[in-house]
Amino acid sequence: MKKINLGLLGFGTIGSGVLRVLRKKAALLENKLGLRISLKRVCEVNPVLVKKLRSKKVDVCNNADRILEDPQIDIVIELIGGIHPAKEYILKALRNKKHVVTANKALLAEEGEDIFKTAKENGVDVYFEASVGGGIPIIRSLREGLIANKIESIYGIINGTSNYILTRMSESGCDFKSALKEAQKRGYAEKNPHFDISGIDCAHKIAILARICFNQAVKFKDIYIEGINDIELSDLNYAQEFGFCIKLLAIAKKAKDGLQIRVHPCLVPKGHVLANVRSVYNAVFIKADLIGKALLQGEGAGQLPTASAVVGDVISISQKIGLESQMDFLKIKGSNLSKKILSMDQLNTRYYFRFTALDKPEVLSKISRILGKFKISIYSVIQKGRRQSQAVPIVMMTHEAREKDICKALAQINKLSFIKKKTVAIRVEGI
């Protein structure tokens, strides 16, 4: 039976999940594949993890070269995360003709060009299913099952931590901080949870998905990013009253003159399938010419769903090793930036506003005068409570308006003396 040797860089939560899955499923995989997949060596420096690995009789090293330069190792699994030294390790593995499996979304989103180019030059491949959507096989679906489709748009709930926080806040009235603590305790959050709640993690993931959907490199800095930091419990409640829920969406969409790629909180109609994606679940809603609309949903974070994606990639590569190279078919193309990424100014959508304003005559008329000046038409408005000469929330929904006009109007409104806090503005997504 052919043996495929693996080298693993990093034995954190996902790495130990990969070892668990490989051991537990060894017999099943041998039966199904006719291949023996063996974890030859792990590189780890944390003494606690080294001890754990030794207790499991795994060959451990503290120098990545013992994996990257070992001619017997066929596939390198990179699970250390971050840009450096992960990038250098991956490049070295590729130059040494080893295939790579990685979950490193930040690296692929920000430095993917070098990685894919080096893989191509060396006739090896990089698989990265675990980088987006944990247990959902979204990358494989886009690259294989949906390959004949022209993708029009994708809308992703692709950060489990943010979705968990928003769900806990809206369903249990839990506050932001304690919901985040819960997500961290459950192992969903990034080492630096700022990446989760500020939208950066989503932006990394949508850069990867957009690249596959639209077959072009996406410059990370071109992505508009806004997180859930400013969302308050009251916004979730007011949105409910208007018939919406709030979700952090990562959107990649074809527009007339280019591509929109953006991450921000959105009001999603309660009846839409994405509104019902709760807790740590991730989902990607795809609109394409042949399939129409499709939703892929599953656990987007956590040890075993992510390990499942890593092992799936290992198996795909293992099946190909020894066969005639069919890889060009699956490889991501280089960087022919054909469609430009549109600036947010050109976005046209409906908006939710929460003004915090003194409760006194003429407040609404002054706000609406400014909105009118920028051709922003009001759909509905509610004042919450009555506190004479004190600040109250005024919640408003607009008709479609241009982002550029919204920004100008809000800048003027926020300067009014009776506005006591920066206005919260959330886009409504007509999906």
DSSP reduced 3-state for 297 = strand
| Sign of the dihedral through C-alpha 14, 19, 23, 25 | positive
Tally of CB atoms within 10 A around 15: 26
403/393 Cα distance (integer angstroms)? 22
CB of 404 to ligand HSE, least distance (A): 32
The pair of three-digit structure tokens given for residue 373, joined into one six-digit string: 């000046």
Report the distance separating Cα 319 and Cα 173, nearest Å. Answer: 49
Residue (9 or 392) nearer to ligand HSE, CB: 9
Nearer to ligand HSE, 227 or 300 (CB): 300
Rounded CA-CA distance 184/193 in Å is: 8
Q: How far is the CB of 189 from ligand HSE (least distance, A)?
A: 5
Q: What share of the chain is helix, strand, coil (3-state, %, to 5)?
A: 40, 25, 30
| Rounded least distance, CB 197 to ligand HSE, Å | 9
Is 205 an annotated catalytic residue?
yes
Return the bridge partners of 61, or none.
Answer: 43
Measured distance CA(356)–CA(418) in Å, rounded: 8
Instruction: Tell me how far, at minimum, the Cβ of 283 lies from ligand HSE, in Å.
Output: 12
Going edge to edge, which strands form the sheet with 126-127?
A: 60-61, 35-43, 2-9, 75-78, 99-102, 126-127
Rank residues 102 and 118 by Cβ distance to ligand HSE and give the closer one.
102
Comparison of 129 and 201: residue with beta carbon closer to ligand HSE = 201
Q: How far apart are CA 267 and CA 380, in angstroms?
A: 15
Taking the complex as a whole, the smallest distance from the CB of residue 161 to ligand HSE amounts, in Å, to: 3
Catalytic annotation, pick one of 205, 339, 373, 408? 205
> Which residue lies nearer to ligand HSE by CB, 67 or 103?
103
Q: What does the block give as tokens for 117?
A: 């180019």
Q: Site residues (CB under 6 A) for ligand HSE? A: 134, 159-161, 188-190, 196, 201, 300-301
Q: List active site positions.
A: 205
